[in-house]
Every structure is written in C-alpha cells, then in structure tokens.
Amino acid sequence: MRDPPTASGIPRVLASPVERKHDKLPLLARLGVCWTVLRTQLGPLTLANPVMSASGTFGAGLEGRAFADLSGLGALVSKTVTVVPWHGNPPQRIVETPAGMLNSIGLENRGADYFLRETLPAMRAIGPPVIVNIGGESVDDFVALAERFSAAGVDALEVNLSCPNVQGGRLLFSTDPKMTEVAMRRVKEAATVPVFAKLSPNVTDITEIARAAEAGGADGITAINTLIGMAVDWRRGRAVLGRTIGGLSGPAIRPVALRMVHQVRQAVRLPILGCGGIASAEDALQFLAAGADAVQVGTASFVDPARMTRIVDDMRHLLEDAGTTVRQLIGAVSATGRTPGREAPQP
C-alpha cells in the first residue's frame, strides 16, 4: 500500500519495506547486477538507467546529496543557466495546487561564469553524466552558452526553448517552428556535445515543433515543460503569483505529458526525455512505453528529495518481475507497427 499523498497528490514514500532494506547498499552496487535491465541510449550517450532530474527542480544536485546517494542516477540535469545572472520574478513564486504546483521562479541563477567556476566541478563530482540546461532571450545567448559549455566538456546540453516565466510568457522559441529550427541549427553549429530541445506543451501541435527541432539538427527532445496556469485570491481580487501566471507541474499534467510524448515519438526519430508529473516507477515506465528513452523527475523531488533513487530501485524490481528491460519497453505503445517487447536495434 502506498503512503498517504500530500496535498499535491504526490505520495511521500514509494518504496516497500523490502526495497527499503536494499537502500542500505550503495546505489552503484545495486545497479552493477542490473545494467542490462535498466540501461538506455540517448544517441551517443549510454546511461546506466533512464532516471534523471528535471531542470529547475533539483538545482545542480548538490543539496540532494544530503538525502540520497545520487551517484547511480542516469544523469543530473542542471537548473537553467543564462549568460549573465538573472534575478528571477517577484514573489509570490510558488503555489501548491490540488495535484501539483504552480511556479513562477523566472530562471533565477548566478550566470554562466559562476556556474562554470563553482557549480560544474561540484556537480561532476557527484558521478552521473551532467546535462546543462541553457536559457536566454536571443539565439546569440544560446550560441554563447553552447560554445562555453561544450568547451567545458559537459555530457550534453538541454536548450530551454519553453520556459513560460520569461519573455512575458510569449514562448517565442517553442511556439514558432521557424524560430525553433533556427535556434537549434545555430546551437548545433556551436556545440560539440549532444543537444536536446526542451519543448512547451502550450502549443496547438507539439509534433510541428518537434519536427522543426529535428530539422534544425537537435539530437533529442525533452517533452514536456510546464503548462501555463494561474491562481487567484478572490478575497483580495488579485492573482496569487507575483507575475500572475506560472508553470503547472506535478501529477495533474501527467496524462497530457504522456500523450505528447507518444505524439512526438510518432513524429520524429530522435531520443526523447519524457517528463511531466512522474512520481513513481510505474509512472516512469508508462512514459517509456509511450516512447520516451529516459525520464526526468521534477515536482516529486520537492516532496521527497530521495525520490529519484527510489524510482530507480522500484523500476528494477518491476522490470525484473515482468521479465523485460528498459530498452525492450521503449515505444511499446506505438502506432508505427513496432512489436512491443522487441529490443530496438543497437546503435
């Protein structure tokens, strides 16, 4: 039986008593015997398992080390980094909702210089591959960051085309296919590492944007970012968030995210990082079956900072019980005629 959920609808602890016993072992030791069960491929990147942090929800993983052994995660994704420091949006920035949360942080960060000097070395020391999420208000910003982080030798880049809390919520780079293609082409020309385009769900047809990112040379897609939402204080006659609107995340958006991952899988041949409301191994496996090659855990980490490591363990148990592997499960729910359970061709 699952533990009682919080007000956001996210269970506090998902591991069974048996699985908690395994937590006493180092995560790397637990993963050593199940490499073939959990491993996944993101273009040239081979990951020990498909579970990673979602940008903006886990910092650079530094605080998370106090709660769990993060060394065996599939990857760590940084909070968005910009060319110069950004102060973010005015308060109030976060509102809990019945099945998730609204946030309006506004990409607050200390800028690329600080990240490269202070944060990146500490992030690398945790162990998993490092994916740096980059953001900006112009294509030139993205290019400058791609050049610097490629030179620094990060494992991959995630281009934040889709944050709803900047640019006045206009989402210019992720709602116009032409701008998406141009931005990704310029970034790919500058980058020497794999580049993933993070897409917005706040569009009429996400497949159109995904195809544009693929045409621009993207190595993969992250789907999805948050949905635009709002909270109102009717007694005071005003919006609760300081900037009125924010990004909705958590279990409430999971069905939307699953549908969009499935649609993107039919539209492009790129690796997909699926995210949106994942709070358990069952959730993560649904995303893999829908077509994701790996998953990102975000809002659930606010409730339980050790959630990602629990999901890795739970996923292993579920797959072993089902007699299948991550690579066999990917894309099982497919309209393209692929037979569920058959492993994808080796790269």
Q: Which residues are catalytic?
A: 163
First to last CA, the chain: 40
- With beta carbons less than 8 A apart as the criterion, state whether 289 and 21 touch: no
In this structure, what are the phi and psi dihedrals at residue 77, rounded to the nearest 5 degrees? -110, 130
What are residue 52's DSSP bridge partners? 75, 296
Q: How far apart are CA 50 and CA 19, in angstroms?
A: 19
Residues 6+ apart with CB under 8 A from 78: 55, 59, 60, 115, 119, 123, 130, 131, 132, 133
> Inter-axis angle of helices 254-267 and 281-290, to 10 degrees?
30
Q: How far apart are CA 99 and CA 101, in angstroms?
A: 7
Q: What is the largest CA-CA distance in the chain?
A: 59
Type of residue numbered 92: Q
Q: How far apart are CA 225 and CA 283, in angstroms?
A: 17
- With beta carbons less than 8 A apart as the criterion, state whether 195 and 188 touch: yes
What are residue 229's DSSP bridge partners? 246
**In terms of Cα–Cα distance, which of 262, 158, 142, 161 is closest to 202?**
161
Q: How far apart are CA 128 and CA 296, in angstroms?
A: 14
Strand pairing report for 227-230 and 245-249? antiparallel
Q: What would the two tokens of residue 238 be?
A: 């005003």
